[in-house]
Structure 1
Amino acid sequence: MKKKPFVLMLAILLTLALSACSSNGDNSNGNKAEEPIEPTVSVKEMVDKMLADIEQPNLMELDADGVKQQYHVDLGLLEEYSVRIPMMNVKSNELAILKVKDAKDISDVEEAVKKRAADVQKSFEQYLPDQYENAKNYKIVTKGNYVLFVISDQADAFVKSFERFFEQK
């Protein structure tokens, strides 16, 4: 006789737990979770602002050939990009924002960026141990069609700065 109330109570608790965990894909702003806010500035402006706010060693902008060679990415997949690498090969710091034309290509771009991270690590592995450690702690963050890649001892600050471009104003 005592099993029925226990089973009933267990079923009610399970139902409540499942309904509390479910989601309809909307966030608190009423926007669909898969439709992030589009930044109002270009990728280059994003990178310039981030570098103005977060001090880094001297970084130079990579041209299209440099991006294609060093990042192993098909530039045809990108709508816009800005990539900064060290002027001299004594620092591992890098900053790149790549805007992908089609969301289906994001995983290909992320894989290309991971290959770049491995290349940077390899170049410092036997050369400068502190820069090798820095290169191992890279960050890749994707927001909508944008991919952020950063190697820096201040990578978390770059991620926060990047995410601010996607906040509701």
Structure 2
Amino acid sequence: MMKLYWKKAAALMLALSMVAAMAACGSNDASSSSSSSQSSQSSSAVESTPESSTGESSSQESSSEGESAPAGETSELAQKYADAITAARDDEMNEVMPIQTTLDAEKDAYLIEMLGFGPDDVEAAAISVSMINVKAYGVAVVKPAEGHEDVVKAGLEGFVEYQKKSFEQYLADQYEVAKAARVETLEDGTMILVMCEDQDTVYGGIVSALNG
């Protein structure tokens, strides 16, 4: 009887030990899984940090680059030239004949073709010309880029010759205006074209404004 009792007690203790062992094992697995998950999340956070930092750096660089002055912006010298032309003309001409202070290779292709020089040939320029063949008109103050003086001078003189030929058999009064046009070079290398009525007065007004 006692022998049977101890067998049952031993079996019960063995069963309890197995249950306890299984519970402990399950707890360790859960702890291990939780630790592994936290480690994975931490690793992901560390790995993502450099990318975030790089993105912010790129954004800052892009912002810095965007602050640079846009191409084709009117320079101080070009504005001075424009002001000189404005001062030398009356209000009516200033209203109907706008002054251009930049040259764009694509947008101003027709004007560049008329003048015979482009943006790479000038340091600064203020130009006001008639874009249609009903009036011989052109007033320009140009500072050629270094080494491009001959190109700019030839362009201004070529523009005058073109206007003369255009009006020679077309409008006699405009032909006379073109024929009396002036292309002059100042001591500092600035070139002035004046092709309009009363050209000497306009030319004198431009020079006076530039020296004032």
**TM-score (norm: length of structure 1):** 0.64
Q: Contact (CA 8 Å) 2:144, 2:190: kept in 1 or not?
A: yes
Structure 1's 59 and 166: CA in aligned 2 closer, same or farther, altered over 3 A? Answer: closer
Q: Which structure has greater helix proportion?
A: 2
**Aligned match of 2:145 in 101, 115, 121?**
101
**Aligned match of 2:175 in 124, 129, 132?**
132
2:115 paired with 1:71? yes
Q: Contact (CA 8 Å) 1:80, 1:99: kept in 2 or not?
A: yes
Partner Cα distance (2:95, 2:182) in 1: 18
Give % identity. Answer: 20
Query: How far did 1:138 drift?
Result: 0.5
**Aligned match of 1:45 in 77, 80, 83?**
83
1:6-45 equivalent positions in 2, closer than 5 A: 42-45=80-83
Partner Cα distance (1:92, 1:44) in 2: 20
Task: Please say which of residues 86-95 and 153-162 is displaced more in the overlay.
Answer: 86-95
- Name the SS of the counterpart of 2:136 in structure 1: coil
Partner Cα distance (2:92, 2:205) in 1: 9
Q: Contact (CA 8 Å) 1:99, 1:146: kept in 2 or not?
A: yes
Please tell me whether Structure 1 or Structure 2 has the larger radius of gyration of its CA atoms. 2
Q: Please, which runs of 5 or more residues in structure 1 have no aligned partner?
A: 1-38
Structure 1's 54 and 110: CA in aligned 2 closer, same or farther, altered over 3 A? Answer: farther
Q: CA RMSD in A?
A: 2.7
Partner Cα distance (1:55, 1:84) in 2: 10
**TM-score (norm: length of structure 2):** 0.53
Q: Which structure has greater strand proportion?
A: 1
2:190 paired with 1:146? yes
Q: Please, which runs of 5 or more residues in structure 2 have no aligned partner?
A: 1-76
